[in-house]
């Protein structure tokens, strides 16, 4: 049984999908042991507490003087302290590197709200991804679960799921559909894949 640490920044809907997937047996080779956020006000922390999960807040600017290496080191220390084997970025909107990437190479999974290689990379997150897809006029978008490496959204793809764009979609409507029809489905499956090797 692998120990899973989840990193979040906001509402924690992907975290909730993971908690539900563990309860329903979709994730059966691992268990969530902690949740770490880079934002004090993240509602995902409330979701974690409701599920009885330990939480910690580590902020890059306030706690690490804006230093990415220090930020990465502190997150890595917490993950080690909690005996985490696999890290899941569930709507984690901060860039890290250094120690965390080295210590957990091939063991960090991220969910990205597009079909990589489209609409990804530096600065492409949240609603910006859906705005870009709509501006470009693509008819299909989706989500990608991938391993994390030193290139933003550049790690090995584990799973992808397509979602159709509909007439009248706004970035907000599209974001919700991509979450419901793709992210919440493939992220738990990708985590189970990693946990079961």
pLDDT value of residue 97:
85
pLDDT value of residue 197:
81
130 counts as catalytic: no
| H/E segment holding residue 110 | strand 108-112
What are the tokens at 125? 């997150």
DSSP string over 120-185: -STT--THHHHHHHHHHT-SEEEEEEEE--SSTT-SPEEEEEEEE--TT--HHHHHHHHIIIIIHH
CA angle 2, 54, 93 (to 5 degrees): 80
Tens-digit pLDDT profile for the chain (197 aa)?
Answer: 999 999 999 999 999 999 999 999 999 999 999 999 999 999 999 999 999 999 999 999 999 999 999 999 999 999 999 999 999 999 998 888 889 999 999 999 999 999 999 999 999 999 999 999 999 999 999 999 999 999 999 999 999 999 999 999 999 999 999 999 999 999 999 999 999 98
Q: Name the active-site residue from 74, 107, 112, 130.
A: 112
Taking alpha carbons only, the member of 180, 10, 29 closest to residue 89 is: 10
Q: Please count the other Cβ atoms lying within 10 Å of the Cβ belonging to residue 97.
A: 13
- Top-level class of domain 2-195: alpha beta
pTM: 0.95
């Amino acid at each position: 049984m692998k120990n899973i640490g989840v990193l979040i920044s906001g509402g924690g809907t992907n975290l909730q999908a993971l908690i539900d997937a563990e309860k329903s047996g979709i994730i059966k080779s691992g268990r969530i042991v902690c949740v770490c956020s880079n934002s004090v006000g993240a509602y995902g922390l409330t979701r974690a507490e409701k599920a009885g999960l330990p939480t910690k807040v580590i902020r890059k600017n306030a706690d690490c003087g804006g230093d990415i290496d220090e930020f990465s080191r502190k997150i890595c220390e917490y993950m080690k302290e909690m005996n985490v084997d696999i890290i899941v970025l569930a709507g984690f909107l901060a860039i890290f590197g250094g120690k965390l990437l080295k210590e957990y190479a091939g063991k960090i999974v991220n969910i990205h709200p597009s079909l990589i290689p489209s609409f990804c990379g530096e600065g492409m997150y949240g609603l910006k991804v859906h705005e870009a897809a709509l501006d470009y006029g693509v008819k299909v978008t989706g989500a990608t679960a991938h391993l994390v490496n030193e290139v933003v959204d550049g790690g090995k793809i584990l799973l992808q799921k397509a979602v159709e764009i509909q007439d009248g979609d706004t970035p907000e409507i599209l974001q919700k559909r991509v979450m419901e029809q793709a992210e919440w489905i493939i992220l738990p499956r990708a985590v189970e894949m990693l946990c079961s090797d």
